[in-house]
Structure 1
Amino acid sequence: MAAINHSKVKKKRFMSEEKKDRVSGYLYIAPFFIIFAIIGLYPALFSIFLGFQKWNGLGPMTFVGFDNFKVVLTDPLFWKSVYNTIVMGIMGTAPQLVFGILFAYLLNLAFLKFKNVFRVTIFMPYITSMVAVALIFSVLFSDHESSLANYVLTLAGLDPVHWGTSEWGTKIAISIMVFWRWVGYNTIIYLAGIQSIPNDLYEAATIDGANKFQQLFYITMPMLKPFIILTVFTSTVGALQLFSEPTVFLGTSAFTRDEAMTIVMYLYRDAFKLQSFGTASATAIILLVLITVFVAINTLIASGYGRKKRGESE
């Protein structure tokens, strides 16, 4: 009888409430970490390992050290892709942040009717299929003189542009596509930020005689600072990973032309067109370094702004 009671006590201690809570907590979060390790962590670590190997995807791997990085960094096409990525990123990202704030401010005005209709309309491009986007922009920016873009240029007294074949015509068309797809996404984020600003601030500013533009620049913009930093960060990372828009707009000729080649397109071409997975992985590592640099810059800007504001308040 004493032995039975002793075993019950040991079992009771082993299955204490604290330990059961801890085990159940680990079981709840385990699926996320398992899936992340399989489809996230392992491919990333394997890509870093592959950056120092020569491999065509089928045969044995050969260790080559930093030769893959030398090949990439001495390739003029890679630097062309870096230039294209930065130029199209700036042209497509900077306007959408500015217009996103303006659209969000307009959508939050009290006297505006059919707000929900406008909000859904401006968000629709973000959820539109890339196939539909390709069809729309292939018609809008056709090389033919009767295309809508060339027709507008003709009305303005300008010459038609070969959007699909010229250097800057291609960059401008792709940048407009990026702007069209993502401005609604940033608008919704800014709209959520504006709606979190207390109305008392606007009422006090109105009593003091501030007009709408003064309220926008002296109340809305400073209060939106965290949201602006977030969208600048995400937009910068997205711009450095630009891939879908150029490939969709240019179609089958996307990987054979230099004027719209981006870093991710260069990576994809090496891996799946040339079967050079070593240089493709080296390009991915270099892209990771570039993204990290931009993340560090954004973090320094955000922290510096915070210290400045605290210093002024003191």
Structure 2
Amino acid sequence: MITAKPNADITQNLNKSTRALRTKNALIGWSFVVIATIMICWFYFYPMVHALIMSFQSGTGTNLTFVGLDNYKRLFQDPTFIAAVKNTVIFLLVQVPVMILLALVFSVLLNDKTLKFKGFFRTAIFLPAVTSLVAYSVIFKYLFGLDGILNIMLMKTSLISEPIQWLTDPFWAKVAIIIAITWRWTGYNMIFYLSSLQNIDPSIYEAAKIDGASPIQQFFKITIPMLKPIILFTSITSTIGTLQLFDEVMNITGGGPGNSTITISQYIYNISFKYTPDFGYAATVSYAIVIMIVFFSIIQFKVAGDKK
């Protein structure tokens, strides 16, 4: 018993030191978590909640008063908002499927081990995704001008007899915006598919070749099913990005001609800064985007058959 007491004291001291060390490590860890949590709440959740509260207010500038659901009722009677929703949905339904398909095709072609200069082609297709939004929008504005390079090339090749009114015709203005968005974001989505393709076991394709499957059959029967989670992810992110479309429309067409290309995000900007400021109604329109994002995301999950 006499010799056991010092051992018990040593064990007790070790336990105290261990607990103190654990407490210290926990405090250090929680300090990082708490700081990050406060920053996220302050810069993300607080503006979201404040915008929701503001959507029930109306007034000029910051002189806002509560008006209940009047702003939400106003949405359905606002012709500019309805036009913005129609334009945004058209961009979404046309551009996103085309972009996803092109990204899939490019990723499959550039995943071919026998292809030379793969690095160059991958960089060239992805490069638009890292260019400045404003810079490339201004360049496209000049490309699609009445006397722009595109019209000059089409006329020299005798594909058209007179210049196309890319920026002043409602239909062609939408086409110009869709081309610009597709050019920028196809390479971005291609990188996701390309990285996923490189994780697929090549023996699957070899077995398919032995069974006599053509490249097209391999694409639809192997590649598409294997990339289903990534396709769903890129479809949702592309949908969110298109519903928030602003830079291209603002810099290429300015929303014209006659609001034929105006988007919801540009309308929010106009309400907040271009016209007489009505931040309450602008917040209401912004939450309309949130509702649309949730709606289209649910549809995509249902179409993809993802029960999770």
Query: Do these two structures clear the TM 0.5 threshold for a shared fold by scoring above it?
Result: yes
Match of 1:233 among 222, 233, 236: 236
- 1:170 corresponds to 2:182: no
Equivalent residues in 2 for 1:28-39, closer than 5 Å = 28-39=32-43
Q: Which amino acid aligns with 1:259?
A: S
Equivalent residues in 2 for 1:121-270, closer than 5 Å = 121-144=124-147, 147-149=149-151, 151-152=153-154, 155-157=158-160, 159-250=162-253, 253-254=254-255, 257-270=258-271
1:116 corresponds in structure 2 to 119
Asked if the contact 2:144/2:151 (under 8 Å) is kept, the reply is yes
Q: Structure 1 CA distance, aligned partners of 2:161 and 2:233?
A: 38
Residues 1:300 and 1:18: Cα distance change in structure 2 (over 3 Å): farther
Q: Structure 1 CA distance, aligned partners of 2:34 and 2:306?
A: 38
Q: Structure 2 CA distance, aligned partners of 1:24 and 1:301?
A: 45
Q: What is the Cα deviation at residue 149 of structure 1?
A: 3.6
Q: Structure 2 CA distance, aligned partners of 1:17 and 1:56?
A: 57
2:300 corresponds in structure 1 to 298
Asked if the contact 1:150/1:161 (under 8 Å) is kept, the reply is no
Q: Structure 1 CA distance, aligned partners of 2:279 and 2:231?
A: 37
TM-score between the two structures when normalised by the length of structure 1 = 0.86
Q: What is the Cα deviation at residue 184 of structure 1?
A: 0.2
2:28 corresponds in structure 1 to 24
Asked if the contact 2:167/2:257 (under 8 Å) is kept, the reply is no
Q: What is the Cα deviation at residue 255 of structure 1?
A: 7.6
Q: Structure 1 CA distance, aligned partners of 2:306 and 2:40?
A: 34
1:92 corresponds in structure 2 to 95
Q: Structure 2 CA distance, aligned partners of 1:192 and 1:285?
A: 34
Asked if the contact 2:56/2:69 (under 8 Å) is kept, the reply is yes
Q: Secondary structure at the match of 1:155?
A: coil
Q: What is the Cα deviation at residue 152 of structure 1?
A: 1.5
Deviation digits for residues 149-192 of structure 1 (CA, Å, limit 9, x no counterpart): 46426722454321111101110001100000000001111101
Q: Structure 2 CA distance, aligned partners of 1:255 and 1:26?
A: 52
- 1:47 corresponds to 2:51: yes
Q: Structure 2 CA distance, aligned partners of 1:140 and 1:256?
A: 17
Q: Which amino acid aligns with 2:70?
A: D
Q: What is the Cα deviation at residue 277 of structure 1?
A: 0.5
Deviation digits for residues 36-79 of structure 1 (CA, Å, limit 9, x no counterpart): 112111111110010111243333x3111111112222101111
Matched length: 295
Q: Structure 1 CA distance, aligned partners of 2:135 and 2:70?
A: 42
Q: Structure 2 CA distance, aligned partners of 1:70 and 1:150?
A: 48
Asked if the contact 1:91/1:172 (under 8 Å) is kept, the reply is no
Residues 1:286 and 1:131: Cα distance change in structure 2 (over 3 Å): closer
Q: What is the Cα deviation at residue 32 of structure 1?
A: 2.4
1:279 corresponds in structure 2 to 281
Q: Structure 1 CA distance, aligned partners of 2:202 and 2:307?
A: 24
Residues 1:235 and 1:169: Cα distance change in structure 2 (over 3 Å): same
Q: Secondary structure at the match of 1:102?
A: helix
Q: What is the Cα deviation at residue 134 of structure 1?
A: 2.5
Asked if the contact 2:62/2:279 (under 8 Å) is kept, the reply is no
Q: What is the Cα deviation at residue 205 of structure 1?
A: 1.6
Aligned-pair identity in percent equals 36
1:78 corresponds in structure 2 to 81
Deviation digits for residues 209-256 of structure 1 (CA, Å, limit 9, x no counterpart): 323222222211111111111111111111111111100112xx4488
Q: Which amino acid aligns with 1:292?
A: V
Deviation digits for residues 104-154 of structure 1 (CA, Å, limit 9, x no counterpart): 00000011011111111111100111233123212221123x641464267
Q: Please, which runs of 5 or more residues in structure 1 have no aligned partner?
A: 308-314
Q: Structure 2 CA distance, aligned partners of 1:104 and 1:182?
A: 13
TM-score between the two structures when normalised by the length of structure 2 = 0.88
Residues 1:155 and 1:51: Cα distance change in structure 2 (over 3 Å): same
Asked if the contact 2:57/2:67 (under 8 Å) is kept, the reply is yes
